[in-house]
Copies of this chain bind each other. A is one copy, B any other.
Amino acid sequence: MASEAAKETANPGSVRPGGRTARVRSAVLRAAGDALAEHGLAGLDLADVARRAEVGRTTVYRRWGNPVALVADLLVEMAEQSLPRTETGTLAGDLRANARLVRRTLADPRQGPLFKAVIAAATCDSRAAAALHRFYETRVDEWAPCARQAVERGELPPGTDAREVIRAVSAPLYYRLLTTAEPLDEAAADRAADAAAAAARAGAFVTTAE
């Protein structure tokens, strides 16, 4: 009896997710990414996004409603498409590869501003924050195995928290991106990787018992 009363008005796009709806979504998300990269989160105007996506203004307001909700959806999309990791055989090599990949992303003229905007959105809205956390969770999980293998190889002490090692590589790069005016060059990436490797070897990421 509750069949039509229960769902009320489930978000548009959830009942007929194929065809046009999917096309609209991807066009809007792409446009939103462009707009974010250009003007940042504060300059994100839904009407402008609709224009760029060649989609009705009404549609964007109905399906997303506000800028941060749109960013949250963009993050879900971004989390889905992860790029493969490279394996070099040594911890130092793997971490450098990771650091350089992160650096290249953050220094990219489109991706860099986009990541900044997405982080800003996460600080404003808990749904966006959850989406961002998920995004980084998948990214870290993708690379954690290289630290785990280093433990097996004997390069790192047993009990080392593999995910924490990977996070230690990214952290200085994000910190530099957000809090300094200095450029994110390859030297900074290598330094971040080397520092993480050194700290890991010294046992800084060994989880004590628990």
Contact residues of A with B, CB < 8 Å?
40-43, 67-68, 116-117, 119-125, 129-130, 132-133, 136-137, 164, 167-168, 170-172, 174-176, 178-181, 191, 194-196, 198-199, 201-205
A124 touches B120 (CB 8 A): yes
A167 touches B178 (CB 8 A): no
Residues of chain B within 8 A of A171, CB atoms compared = 171-172, 174-176
Shortest Cβ distance from A122 into B: residue: B178
Choose among B123, B125, B178, B195 the residue that contacts A199 (Cβ–Cβ < 8 A): B195
CA of A179 to CA of B132, assembled, Å: 6
Residues of chain B within 8 A of A116, CB atoms compared = 123
Shortest Cβ distance from A139 into B: residue: B179
Residues of chain B within 8 A of A198, CB atoms compared = 198-199, 201-204
CA of A157 to CA of B124, assembled, Å: 42
B125 touches A42 (CB 8 A): yes
Taking the closest CB of chain B, its distance from the CB of A32, in whole angstroms, is 15
Shortest Cβ distance from A129 into B: residue: B181
Choose among B119, B133, B137, B170 the residue that contacts A120 (Cβ–Cβ < 8 A): B119
Residues of chain B within 8 A of A179, CB atoms compared = 119, 132-133, 136, 174
